[in-house]
């Protein structure tokens, strides 16, 4: 058993009446690592988070944070965890400093250390200039920074952030990313949920994908890619647009009619999924050239977190259309085009 | 206007609360009439019994409409603002005047339904005879309809000014209490002062006509210290005042909505500590430093309850500068009370003055306690701050204590500010010391109970507006509702029954201690103190349980 594990959750299940919000989730996280927790709306992310912070009681299973059992040792969990919900929780008529002072006092930070701690956290999150502003007058992005500051005040060992980048402008997102990476560098473990997957991919060491209350994939980004990569996505760019139909026909002959091929006449591109190895792909390219297809580029497209997520959640990009007139017509979100196959 | 009117009416009428309110209203009115319905097998030619029934019916209707009329309009515009739909409405072709009229008629429409529901009870009173159709029944309904429109217009105006639904309710009910009761006070005091100018007296009387109470008293054929006796009937005086107030409120609300209410800059967060040395010196002298609203707050001390400090800082009038202003206001009020006590004691006697002061104190507690305490938990849940509080190591007891203390402090200031009036009266008549002490005990227990009752009842609700409205209704039912049974003290209720019903009522207890006519025959203290203490403990336990329940994992 790894002693550096900060979070251990096994078989977490939450049932509301006949509805299973979370079904046997098991995850773990090491110190100083960032876990990206992703899933569509209603997947069970917030339920998991609320079980971890002790706001919701699990129907089955157990989770521990720094050795404290979630839902049972609530006082210890509150000390260990900094939780930033997806709503700000503001108080009217209070300045940012007073707001932070209240939470500092509530967490029992001694008065002599509190001011220094508030200033440190405000500096870290880039919110120092907001110190004297009234909380209700802050913009959404400003509130996110203040919320993160509030979460950091009691120096938690683990941060659980629900959609921290939500509503932030690109510049603020970059800054938020840097703050989170800095916190991880200092040894804080983080669980971050977000719908902005490219953003998450840049900071996460580990990813958990959840849909319908079930954990579909869990591991490092590379491990997830390996798991979900059942086939390789190959792109063929032609030298001229006129040859797209002929190239599609040639590909269909080689791959078989059941393999969907997406094509774009506008950009003279074709894409398809295949499980062939490098040798097989070289052979395929040779056949295309022999068939007179004028290939300008032939390459495998790298998979990113978004592809992995779509693949795991069963919303993979390459899907046949319903049109009976074109049985091989396919839609590719990246290409954004619909065309007819062979 | 029509789309707004249709939306407001359907939104109000189709809710289960509206149905419950209508049924409750009907049941209460029916019960009032039935309780006072003569049971003897004799014909009442003089119509005395009929007038008794009509009197209770009229006052019941008045209090019901005073509570219900402003409730919906007071939250109407502020709710639109909070939900973000006000911007959509202002961006539509509907003008601000149409918007205000639509909302006003929508709110009044609901109240008119209640008025119509009271027709069977009114018909029963009329059928008994002894009541004039035009002068009494017509006069009563004219006053009530005008009152509903006026209070709805006031509610809309307040709703266009404040930022939260509970603040809107608090301020609206405060304005209505001042209009209904406070407006009569200057006339009541000045008419006893021999050297007061007749013009000033006339003006005070005109101000007093803004209250619906004298008009309703006249309509139901009541004569008393507050009923009108001038050449112009009170109903007409009130009608003129109500129409003027309504038009003024509509005009101001329309202007406010038409003058880009969203066009407000964010607060710049100016702080004295960051300003020039000259500005700092001036502000420190001007505000005596400690009371400077732009002074950077100090850190919460270890001996302070953080929740209490937070609540005081959150409350618009909870900060030191506002507390100083409140203390100043109460001090002036206290001086006025001393003046009133010394001048009125010659004509009304010390007992009469004590009664007036006691009624004022009870009114202040009834007004302030729910506004301070009803939203202590619901506001936290509404602002999503509760989840954050749950994540802190603060225990439920610390949270409850801090919140309750934050409500007690301003209420204690009100109580202390009224003490000089008692001292002035005791200087005139030292024999009243025992009575004054008993009154103070009653009022202190009542203040504690009112805070805990409001907090306990309010903790059961998710929305602060609902918590505030219900807390007001419960306290009003305790202090005013039980007096309806007292109205039937001759028949059909026995003296023992009336005494039992009045026992929890702090107003009745205070008046019985003073020996006010009508209450002197009941011995309500110390029974009232025990009942109020029991209610206090029960509400404290309820609040603690509710906080513990909300703090547990779901």
Residue B438 is assigned to a structural domain of this protein: yes
A126: region left, alpha or beta (phi > 0 left; psi from -120 to 50 alpha): left
B244 and B322 both lie in a single domain:
no
pLDDT value of residue B316 = 67
Task: Please tell me which of A38-52, A310-324, B331-345 the model is most confident about, judged by mean pLDDT.
Answer: A38-52
B254 and B380 both lie in a single domain:
no
Distances (CA, A) of B368 to A108, B78, B316, B416: 32, 21, 14, 14
More confident residue, B205 or B251: B251
pLDDT value of residue A327 = 34
d(CA B193, CA B186): 11
* B390 reaches A (C-beta below 8 A): yes
Task: Please tell me which of A200-214, B241-255, B275-289 the model is most confident about, judged by mean pLDDT.
Answer: B241-255
CB A327 within 8 A of CB A248: no
pLDDT value of residue B20 = 80
Beta bridge partners of B17: none
**Which chain B residues have a beta carbon less than 8 Å from that of A50?**
554
d(CA A32, CA B17): 53
DSSP 8-class letter at A42 = T
More confident residue, A196 or A19: A19
Pull the structure tokens for residue B253.
């609300």
User: Picking from A125-129, B103-107, B287-291, which range would have the lowest pLDDT averaged per residue?
Assistant: B287-291
Q: Which band of pLDDT confidence, cut at 50, 70 and 90, is reported for residue B42?
A: low
Could you read off the pLDDT of B386-417 as tens digits, one per residue?
888 888 988 888 998 999 998 888 888 777 87
Q: Is B91 exposed, middle or buried (0-12, 13-18, 19+ CB in 10 A)?
A: exposed
Could you read off the pLDDT of A91-101 as tens digits, one per residue?
777 889 999 99
More confident residue, B416 or B475: B475
d(CA A82, CA A79): 8
Residue B229 is assigned to a structural domain of this protein: no
Beta bridge partners of A206: A35, A220
User: Cβ A105–B315 below 8 Å, yes or no?
Assistant: no
| Among A196, A155, A188, A186, residue whose Cα is nearest residue A304 | A196
Residue B199 is assigned to a structural domain of this protein: no
B310 and B246 both lie in a single domain:
no
Q: Give the Cβ contact number of residue B88 at 10 Å.
A: 10
Question: Is the predicted pLDDT of residue A340 greater than 50, yes or no?
Answer: no
B421 and B504 both lie in a single domain:
yes
**Which chain B residues have a beta carbon less than 8 Å from that of A90?**
383-385
Q: Which band of pLDDT confidence, cut at 50, 70 and 90, is reported for residue A88?
A: confident
Could you read off the pLDDT of B410-441 as tens digits, one per residue?
888 777 877 887 888 788 788 888 888 999 89
pLDDT value of residue B135 = 77
pLDDT value of residue B467 = 85
User: Cβ A103–B267 below 8 Å, yes or no?
Assistant: no
Question: Is the predicted pLDDT of residue B190 greater than 90, yes or no?
Answer: no
For the residues of A254-304, what is the DSSP string, one character each? Answer: HH-TTS-EEEETTTTEEEEEE---HHHHHHHHHHHHHTT--EEEEEEPPP-
Q: Is B157 exposed, middle or buried (0-12, 13-18, 19+ CB in 10 A)?
A: buried
d(CA B122, CA B537): 41
Tell me whether strands A158-162 and A81-84 are parallel, antiparallel or unpaired: parallel
**Which chain B residues have a beta carbon less than 8 Å from that of A115?**
299
User: Cβ A78–B393 below 8 Å, yes or no?
Assistant: yes
* B394 reaches A (C-beta below 8 A): yes
Three-class SS state of B84: coil
Could you read off the pLDDT of B102-156 as tens digits, one per residue?
888 888 888 888 888 888 888 887 877 777 777 788 888 999 999 999 999 999 9
pLDDT value of residue B388 = 87
pLDDT value of residue B81 = 84
pLDDT more than 70, % of chain B = 90
Pull the structure tokens for residue B390.
């749950």
Question: Is the predicted pLDDT of residue A316 greater than 60, yes or no?
Answer: no
B170 and B30 both lie in a single domain:
yes
d(CA A176, CA A48): 23
Mutation pick from A132, A135, A154, A163 vs chain B, by most beta carbons of B within 10 Å, is A132
- By Cβ distance, the residue of A56, A94, A107 closest to B313 is A94
B253 and B373 both lie in a single domain:
no
pLDDT more than 90, % of chain A = 31
What is the count of structural domains for chain B?
2
pLDDT value of residue B39 = 62
| Count of residues in chain B | 554
B248 and B339 both lie in a single domain:
no
Question: Is the predicted pLDDT of residue B71 greater than 60, yes or no?
Answer: yes
B167 to chain A, minimum CA–CA distance in Å?
12
- By Cβ distance, the residue of A71, A101, A133 closest to B300 is A101
d(CA B517, CA B281): 58
Pull the structure tokens for residue B108.
């009044």
Distances (CA, A) of A252 to A139, A281, A318: 54, 14, 15
Residue B505 is assigned to a structural domain of this protein: yes
B149 and B29 both lie in a single domain:
yes
Task: Please tell me which of A21-30, A296-305, B66-75 the model is most confident about, judged by mean pLDDT.
Answer: A21-30
Sole residue written with tokens 């997957």: A197
How confident is the prediction for chain B on average, in pLDDT? 82
Q: Where in chain A is the domain with CATH 3.30.70.100?
A: 229-339
Three-class SS state of A166: coil
Residue B80 is assigned to a structural domain of this protein: yes
User: Picking from A201-210, B244-253, B330-339, B523-532, which range would have the lowest pLDDT averaged per residue?
Assistant: B330-339
- The dihedral through the CA atoms of B53, B54, B57, B62 has a sign that is negative
Question: Is the predicted pLDDT of residue B381 greater than 80, yes or no?
Answer: yes
Can you list the alpha helix ranges (DSSP code H) found in B118-197? 119-127, 139-161, 165-180, 185-190
User: Cβ B393–A107 below 8 Å, yes or no?
Assistant: yes
B456 and B327 both lie in a single domain:
yes
For the whole model, what pTM was predicted? 0.75
Task: Name, in order, each residue with C-beta under 8 angstroms of B310's C-beta and a sequence gap of 6 or more.
Answer: A91, A94, A102, B402
When the candidates are 3.30.70.100, 2.60.40.10, 1.10.510.10, 3.40.50.300, the CATH number that belongs to A229-339 is 3.30.70.100
Q: Which band of pLDDT confidence, cut at 50, 70 and 90, is reported for residue A330?
A: very low
Q: Which band of pLDDT confidence, cut at 50, 70 and 90, is reported for residue B296?
A: confident
Burial profile B480-518: b = 16 or more Cβ within 10 angstroms, e = fewer:
bbbbbbbbbbeeebeeeebbbbbbbbbbbbbbbbbebee
pLDDT value of residue B348 = 66
Residue B221 is assigned to a structural domain of this protein: no
Question: Is the predicted pLDDT of residue B10 greater than 90, yes or no?
Answer: no
d(CA A190, CA A182): 11
The CA-CA-CA angle for residues B14, B18, B20, to 5°, reads 120
| Among B39, B18, B57, residue whose Cα is nearest residue B484 | B57
Q: Which band of pLDDT confidence, cut at 50, 70 and 90, is reported for residue A317?
A: very low
* Superfamily for domain range A5-227: P-loop containing nucleotide triphosphate hydrolases (3.40.50.300)
pLDDT more than 70, % of chain A = 89
Q: Where in chain A is the domain with CATH 3.40.50.300?
A: 5-227
Can you list the alpha helix ranges (DSSP code H) found in chain A? 45-53, 74-80, 96-106, 111-125, 140-152, 170-185, 197-203, 221-228, 244-255, 278-290, 305-312
Question: Is the predicted pLDDT of residue A339 greater than 70, yes or no?
Answer: no
B392 and B541 both lie in a single domain:
yes
- The dihedral through the CA atoms of B489, B495, B498, B504 has a sign that is positive
- By Cβ distance, the residue of A53, A85, A111 closest to B299 is A111
Which range marks the domain in which residue B467 is found?
A: 306-551
More confident residue, B448 or B213: B448
Could you read off the pLDDT of A41-78 as tens digits, one per residue?
888 888 999 899 888 889 999 999 998 998 888 889 98
Residue B427 is assigned to a structural domain of this protein: yes
Residue B205 is assigned to a structural domain of this protein: no
């Amino acid at each position: 058993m790894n002693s550096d594990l900060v979070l251990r959750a096994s078989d977490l299940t939450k049932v509301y009446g006949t509805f299973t919000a979370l079904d046997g989730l098991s995850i773990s996280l090491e110190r100083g690592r960032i876990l990206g927790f992703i899933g569509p709306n209603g997947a069970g992310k917030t339920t998991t988070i609320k079980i971890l912070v002790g706001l919701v009681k699990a129907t089955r299973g157990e989770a521990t944070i720094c050795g404290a059992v979630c839902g049972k040792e609530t006082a210890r969990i509150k000390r260990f965890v900094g939780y930033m919900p997806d709503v700000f929780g503001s108080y009217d008529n209070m300045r940012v400093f007073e707001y932070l002072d209240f939470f500092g006092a509530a967490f029992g930070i001694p008065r002599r250390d509190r001011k220094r701690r508030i200033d440190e956290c405000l500096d870290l999150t880039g919110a120092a200039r907001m110190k004297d502003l009234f909380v209700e007058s802050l913009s959404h992005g400003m509130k996110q920074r203040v919320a993160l500051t509030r979460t950091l005040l009691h120096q938690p060992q683990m941060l659980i952030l629900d959609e921290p980048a939500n509503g932030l402008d690109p510049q603020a997102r970059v800054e938020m990313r840097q703050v989170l990476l800095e916190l991880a560098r200092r040894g804080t473990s983080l669980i971050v949920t977000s719908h902005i997957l490219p953003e998450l991919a840049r900071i996460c060491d580990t990813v958990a994908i959840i849909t319908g209350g079930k954990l579909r994939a869990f591991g490092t980004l590379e491990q997830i890619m390996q798991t979900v990569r059942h086939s390789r996505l190959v792109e063929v760019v032609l030298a001229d647009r006129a040859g797209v139909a002929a190239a599609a026909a040639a590909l269909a002959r080689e791959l078989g009619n059941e393999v969907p091929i997406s094509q774009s006449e506008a950009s003279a591109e074709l894409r398809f999924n295949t499980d062939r190895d490098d040798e097989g792909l070289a052979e395929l390219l040779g056949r295309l050239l022999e068939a007179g297809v004028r290939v300008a580029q032939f390459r495998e497209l790298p998979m990113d977190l978004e592809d992995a997520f779509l693949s795991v959640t069963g919303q993979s990009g390459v899907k046949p259309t319903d049109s009976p007139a074109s049985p091989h017509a396919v839609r590719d979100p990246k290409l954004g085009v619909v065309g007819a196959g062979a | 206007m029509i789309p707004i009117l249709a939306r407001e009416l359907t939104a109000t009428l189709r809710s289960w609360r509206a149905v419950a309110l209508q049924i409750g209203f009907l049941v209460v009115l029916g019960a009032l009439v039935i309780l006072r319905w003569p049971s003897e097998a004799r014909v009442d030619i003089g119509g005395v019994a009929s007038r008794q029934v009509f009197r209770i019916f009229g006052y019941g209707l008045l209090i019901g409409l005073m509570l219900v009329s402003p409730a919906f309009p007071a939250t109407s515009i502020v709710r639109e603002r909070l939900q973000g739909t006000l911007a959509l409405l202002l961006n539509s072709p509907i003008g601000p005047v149409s918007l205000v009229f639509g909302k006003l008629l929508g709110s009044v429409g609901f109240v008119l339904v209640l008025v119509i529901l009271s027709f069977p009870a009114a018909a029963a009173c009329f059928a008994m005879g002894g009541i004039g159709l035009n002068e009494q029944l017509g006069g009563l309904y004219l006053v009530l309809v005008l009152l509903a429109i006026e209070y709805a217009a006031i509610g809309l105006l307040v709703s266009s000014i404040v930022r939260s639904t509970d603040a809107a309710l608090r301020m609206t009910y405060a304005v209505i209490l001042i209009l209904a009761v406070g407006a009569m006070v200057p006339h009541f005091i000045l008419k006893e002062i021999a050297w007061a100018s007749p013009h000033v007296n006339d003006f005070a009387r005109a101000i007093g006509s803004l209250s619906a109470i004298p008009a309703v008293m006249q309509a139901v054929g009541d004569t008393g210290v507050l009923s009108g006796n001038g050449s112009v009937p009170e109903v007409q005086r009130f009608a003129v005042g109500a129409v003027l107030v309504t038009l003024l409120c509509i005009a101001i609300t329309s202007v406010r909505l038409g003058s880009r209410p969203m066009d407000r800059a964010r607060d710049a967060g100016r702080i004295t500590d960051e300003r020039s040395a000259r500005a700092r010196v001036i502000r420190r002298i001007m505000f005596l430093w400690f009371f400077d609203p732009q002074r950077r707050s100090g850190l919460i001390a270890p001996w302070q309850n953080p929740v209490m400090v937070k609540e005081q800082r959150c409350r618009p009038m909870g900060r030191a500068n506002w507390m100083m202003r409140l203390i100043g206001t109460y001090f002036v009020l206290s001086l006025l009370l001393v003046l009133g006590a010394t001048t009125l004691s010659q004509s009304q006697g010390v007992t009469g003055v004590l009664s007036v002061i006691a009624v004022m104190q009870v009114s202040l507690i009834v007004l302030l306690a729910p506004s301070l305490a009803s939203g202590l938990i619901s506001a936290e849940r509404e602002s999503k701050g509760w989840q954050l509080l749950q994540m802190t190591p603060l225990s439920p007891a610390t949270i409850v204590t801090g919140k309750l203390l934050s409500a007690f402090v301003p209420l204690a200031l009100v109580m202390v500010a009224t003490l000089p009036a008692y001292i002035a009266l005791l200087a005139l008549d030292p024999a009243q010391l025992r009575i004054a002490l008993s009154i103070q005990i009653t009022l202190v227990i009542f203040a504690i109970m009112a805070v805990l009752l409001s907090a306990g009842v309010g903790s059961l609700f998710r929305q602060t507006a609902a918590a505030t409205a219900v807390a007001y209704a419960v306290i009003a039912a305790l202090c005013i509702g039980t007096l309806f049974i007292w109205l039937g003290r001759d028949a059909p209720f026995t003296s023992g029954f009336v005494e039992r019903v009045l026992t929890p009522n702090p107003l009745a207890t205070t008046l019985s201690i003073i020996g006010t006519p009508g209450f002197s025959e009941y011995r309500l203290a110390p029974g009232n103190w025990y009942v109020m203490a029991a209610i206090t403990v029960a509400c404290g336990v309820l609040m603690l349980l509710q906080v513990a329940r909300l703090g547990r994992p779901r």
